Amino acid sequence: MMRAFLLIAVALAGTTPSLSAQPRQLSPQVRNFVSVDAPVVALTNVRVIDGTGAAPRENQVVVIEGDKIRAIGAAGRVTIPPGAQVMDLAGHTVIPGIIGLHDHMYYSSAAGGSMKMMLQSYPKLFLGSGITTVRTAGSTDSYQELNIRGAINRGQIVGPEMFVTGPYLQGGGPGPGAMHPVESPDDARRMVKYWSEEGVSWFKAYTQISRAALGAAIDEAHKHGVKVTAHLCSVGYREAVALGIDNLEHGLFANSEFYANKQPDACPTVGDSAIFASADVSNPNVQRTISEMVSKKVSLTSTLAVYETSTPSRVQKDQRVLDALMPEASAAVARWYDNAPNAKDANAREVLRKTMAFEVAFMRAGGLLAAGSDPCCLHVIAGYGDQRNFELLVEAGLSAAEAVQVMTLNGAKVLGVDNRIGSLVAGKQADIVVLRGNPAQSAADIRNVVTVFRQGIGYDASKLVAAVKGQIGIK
């Protein structure tokens, strides 16, 4: 059996790009989390939400062979190969592996912690939460991320496929943490060239960057086949679109163009979020932003879960988060949860509603909307933040199938890998999340992850989650 299995792996390796080459040689540490590993696996009696936005389909069969989906369709119309390992998934739903586009590898806790890499815990928690691909959307240590990516690809450690970003492109002057203060267009080019050659596939520009430096960074990145996204403030959305940016993070509340007194290359003083509370979708400025993004094919990353930290009064306590955090961080977040119901955050709640409406309008206008968790802070940690995004996208007005599409196929399109991953169709890589229940009926069922297939190998979600208990840390 094992020999036949290796032959399949070798045959596939010869026909697929190296990026998707299957590391069937898994280390004992990775093997520890594997619950399904057979040459052919058939998932039967299962509900399928396929990632394309199509309505859920009941009573389906999914056949996995090696690292690929071999067949998918209604029971009785798909042949289950003899010798397949059959998993009866009555009462379960499968969705494509989630693609987290703003999924940092660092966390900064409420207990006064620094931005610290979570290299042991986050890869496990992402995968255990159903996230099979991440783009880090701003890195505090790109070499560590590149090395973790390599170790995952080689099967040495367990985790999602990674798209690594270079260090943040911040504006000039003293910068925070690991961000490089870009002083000039030449400085931007120098930095982008270096890290592109080191192997990053994205950059993220940050709040103080100048238009000239951003434009140079985009131009240099594109020369290297690398893309640029941004959390903007000094530069407006429409300005960045005109400069040729590929993707924008966060949405409405990160677009400083709505400030009436916005000065070029300057981030307006924060604190007046009322400006966004009045930014209705019908506002001509909002409409113009959407139409320019759509016509230039600039995608948007929804990060509703992290924005919810601004609206504590509506945040529900998630015991899973407190369990995952180190004791000191857990105690700090528990105190935050305790005070949350009393927060005076009516304005921020209105901004959240407007941000949701902006994202739905962007998608309805033909914009490519994807999602990420920004697992940086407080209760927003790897994986659970992505799941919360799904719930918030449904609250925003998307159908469950559309919200799954945002979190899977649309993310694959942003990354340019939608021919390989992002939806459940025959021939694609078998990145599949098995959920107990039906997220189309109850959005919270997105949290009930049972098994996560990545490249055709099934990982035990509860074992992955248990392994990070008390690990996500501080300082």
Q: Write out the DSSP string of 257-303.
A: GGSTTPPTT-PPPTT-THHHHT--TTSHHHHHHHHHHHHTT-EEEE-
State whether residue 40 is helix, strand or coil: strand
Among left, alpha and beta (phi > 0; psi -120 to 50; other), residue 409 is alpha
State whether residue 423 is helix, strand or coil: coil
Nearer to Zn ion, 93 or 133 (CB): 133
Nearer to Zn ion, 40 or 101 (CB): 101
Residue for token pair 């409405």? 252
Nearer to Zn ion, 220 or 374 (CB): 374
> What does the per-residue mask of binding to Zn ion show for 381-420, with x meaning CB under 5 A?
----------------------------------------
Count of residues that bind Zn ion according to CB under 5 A = 1
Of 269, 346, 354, the closest CA to residue 310 belongs to: 346
- Buried/exposed code over 314-349 (b: 16+ C-beta within 10 A; e: otherwise): ebeebebbbebbbeebbebbbebbeebeebebeebb
Which of 103, 374, 402, 445 is the binder for Zn ion (CB under 5 A)?
374
Residues in the chain, total: 475
Quote the least distance from Cβ 428 to Zn ion, whole Å: 28
Query: How far apart are the C-alpha atoms of 128 and 453, rounded to whole Å?
Result: 10
Instruction: Find the part of the chain contacting Zn ion (CB under 5 A) among 143-151, 320-328, 367-375, 384-392.
Output: 367-375
Query: How far apart are the C-alpha atoms of 427 and 64, rounded to whole Å?
Result: 10
Nearer to Zn ion, 160 or 456 (CB): 160
Quote the least distance from Cβ 397 to Zn ion, whole Å: 24
In the chain, how long is the greatest CA-to-CA distance?
A: 69
Quote the least distance from Cβ 299 to Zn ion, whole Å: 16
Instruction: Find the part of the chain contacting Zn ion (CB under 5 A) among 23-31, 373-381, 384-392, 437-445.
Output: 373-381
Quote the least distance from Cβ 79 to Zn ion, whole Å: 46
Query: How far apart are the C-alpha atoms of 422 and 432, rounded to whole Å?
Result: 9
Nearer to Zn ion, 254 or 465 (CB): 254
Quote the least distance from Cβ 441 to Zn ion, whole Å: 32
Tell me the residue number closest to Zn ion, measured at CB.
Answer: 374
Query: How far apart are the C-alpha atoms of 375 and 97, rounded to whole Å?
Result: 18
Query: How far apart are the C-alpha atoms of 453 and 455, rounded to whole Å?
Result: 6
Question: Encoding tokens for residue 40?
Answer: 């052919």
Residue 21 burial (C-beta neighbours within 10 Å; 0-12, 13-18, 19+): middle
Quote the least distance from Cβ 456 to Zn ion, whole Å: 31
Of 127, 141, 132, the closest CA to residue 99 belongs to: 132
State whether residue 172 is helix, strand or coil: coil
Nearer to Zn ion, 246 or 374 (CB): 374
Nearer to Zn ion, 257 or 374 (CB): 374
Cβ–Cβ < 8 Å for 69, 103:
no
Nearer to Zn ion, 117 or 294 (CB): 117
Nearer to Zn ion, 38 or 304 (CB): 304
Quote the least distance from Cβ 131 to Zn ion, whole Å: 15
Main-chain phi, psi angles of 456, to 5 degrees: 85, -5
Nearer to Zn ion, 374 or 460 (CB): 374
Instruction: Find the part of the chain contacting Zn ion (CB under 5 A) among 69-77, 282-290, 374-382, 428-436.
Output: 374-382
Quote the least distance from Cβ 104 to Zn ion, whole Å: 6
Quote the least distance from Cβ 273 to Zn ion, whole Å: 18
Quote the least distance from Cβ 138 to Zn ion, whole Å: 5
- Per CB under 5 A, residues contacting Zn ion are 374
